Structure 1
Amino acid sequence: MIEIHNIEKSFDGNAVLKGISCTFETGKCNLLLGGSGTGKSVLLQCVVGLMQPDLGSITFDGTVFSNNKVQVRQEIRRKIGMLFQGSALFDSMTVAKNVEFPLQMLTPEMSREERRDRVEFCLKRVGLENAGDKMPSEISGGMKKRVGIARAIAPNCTYLFCDEPNSGLDPLTSLKIDELIQEITYEYNITTVIITHDMNSVIEIGDHIIFLYQGLKLWDGTKDEILNAQVPELKEFIFSSSLVRAAKRIDDETHSGVESL
């Protein structure tokens, strides 16, 4: 579990995060939802230590991360896996070498054979057991996302952070990536945090959703609760999607039918 307490962050006097407090729950897909410029990426960078908040604290399973000793922060970072928006694979490395890279950096005690076994396991887990010798230029966008997931979980991460994992993907591939992230979260009991503005992802895998608006946390809840949320800014955001409007209409009709029985 990751707990965020009263995080504030400003740039040149412009407040980007305004006293945000929330919890990312273990074994669940925690979604940071909101439009562009709402503070999602800044909050994520503060949580993983790429940026220092001006105020507030962050704890990982009870251990304070922000403002702690370097050794403590480094130990927590070893448990963090990252799936970047553009996959961020090394073009000059094969798929297998990309997945092995964090193992070489973070687990020097592993032998070459142990690293190879771990790479093979992770690639098989994401359905790419036959792609290890390929170069990133030889695989599709969806496959690159899968490689990114394999690389993120290779060091046996406890916390998984995903920045717009469906960016640039078609709807079917996006659904498969969502399902894979959810499966891995449940299977390994990972604390997963996903930045998104995609309501399809919210409806599919939103175990715990946090809605940010202009640097404020305006709502949190589950995918089952979000369609009935009474926050005006959230309602305007979610019902901009035709899929969500249809889902809401079906939900209302279903409840009306049950009540009439």
Structure 2
Amino acid sequence: MIEIHNIHKSFNGVQVLKGIDGVFETGKTTLLLGASGTGKSVLLQCIVGLVKPDLGSITYDGKVFTNNRLDLKQEIRRKIGMLFQGSALFDSMNVQENVEFPLKMLTPDMTKEERLDRVEFCLKRVGLEAAHKKMPSELSGGMKKRVGIARAIAPNCTYLFCDEPNSGLDPLTSIKIDELIYEITKEYNITTIIVTHDMNSVIEIGDHIMFLHNGLKLWEGTKDNIMDTNVKELNDFIFANSLMRAAKRIEEEGGDIDKL
């Protein structure tokens, strides 16, 4: 479980986060939802430790992360897996070497054989057991995301952070990536936080959702009640799409949404 309290962050006098509180439960996917520029990625970076908040506290399973000793922060960071928006694979390394990289950095006591066994396991888990020797330039967008997920979970992460995991993917591949992240979260009991603006992801895997607007948390709930709120900014975001507006209208009229 990760807990954040009263997180503030400003850049060059512009306040980006304005006192965000939240609890991210183990074994659940929490989606940070909102339009571009609302502070989602900055909040994620604060939680991970890439950006230091101006004010507030962050704890990982009861261990204080903010303003703590470097060695204690590093202990927590070893348990973090990160899936970057652009996958961020090393172009000069093949798939196997990319997935093995964090094991070399974070688990120096592992032998080469143990590392390769773990790489094999992770690639098989994401459906890429035959892609070991491929270079990133030979992979599709969806395959790159899968390699990114395999690399993130390779060190047996306890916490998984995903920044726009569906960015640049077609709708079918996006659904498959969502399902994979959701399955891994449940299977390994990981605390997963996902930055997104994709309503398909919300409907598919939104165990818990936090909606951010202008640096404030305006709403939180689940995929089951997000369609029935009185928060204008959230409704404007959700129903900007004509299909979502039609779904809402049919639901209010007691019709069958599946007929859309």
Corresponding residue of 1:56: 56
Secondary structure at 1:224 match in 2:
coil
TM-score w.r.t. length of structure 1? 0.96
Secondary structure at 1:58 match in 2:
strand
- Matches of 1:41 and 1:148, distance apart in 2: 18
1:199 and 1:244 in contact (8 A); partners too: no
Secondary structure at 1:143 match in 2:
helix
Secondary structure at 2:120 match in 1:
helix
Corresponding residue of 2:197: 197
Corresponding residue of 1:259: none
- Matches of 1:125 and 1:166, distance apart in 2: 19
Corresponding residue of 1:78: 78
- Matches of 2:26 and 2:254, distance apart in 1: 32
Corresponding residue of 2:29: 29
Alignment of 1:1-261 (within 5 A): 1-254=1-254
Secondary structure at 1:223 match in 2:
coil
- List alignment gaps of at least 5 residues for structure 2: none
**1:79-121, Cα deviation, whole Å (9 max, x unpaired):** 0000000000011101010000000000000000000000000
Question: Runs (4+) of structure 1 moved beyond 6 Å?
Answer: none
| Alpha-carbon distance, 1:242 to partner | 3.1
Q: Which amino acid aligns with 2:248?
A: K
1:199 and 1:241 in contact (8 A); partners too: no
Say if 1:73 and 1:104 are closer, same or farther in 2 by CA, change over 3 A: same
| Alpha-carbon distance, 1:139 to partner | 1.1
- Matches of 2:204 and 2:57, distance apart in 1: 31
**1:135-166, Cα deviation, whole Å (9 max, x unpaired):** 11111000000000000000000000000000
- List alignment gaps of at least 5 residues for structure 1: 257-261
Say if 1:146 and 1:229 are closer, same or farther in 2 by CA, change over 3 A: same
**1:154-207, Cα deviation, whole Å (9 max, x unpaired):** 000000000000000000000000000000000001000000000110011011
- Matches of 2:94 and 2:43, distance apart in 1: 32
- Matches of 2:243 and 2:159, distance apart in 1: 30
| Alpha-carbon distance, 1:47 to partner | 0.4
Q: Please provide the CA RMSD for this pair.
A: 1.2
How many residue pairs end up in the alignment?
Answer: 256
Secondary structure at 2:218 match in 1:
strand
- Matches of 1:90 and 1:233, distance apart in 2: 39
**1:191-244, Cα deviation, whole Å (9 max, x unpaired):** 000000001100110110000000000000000010001100000000012343
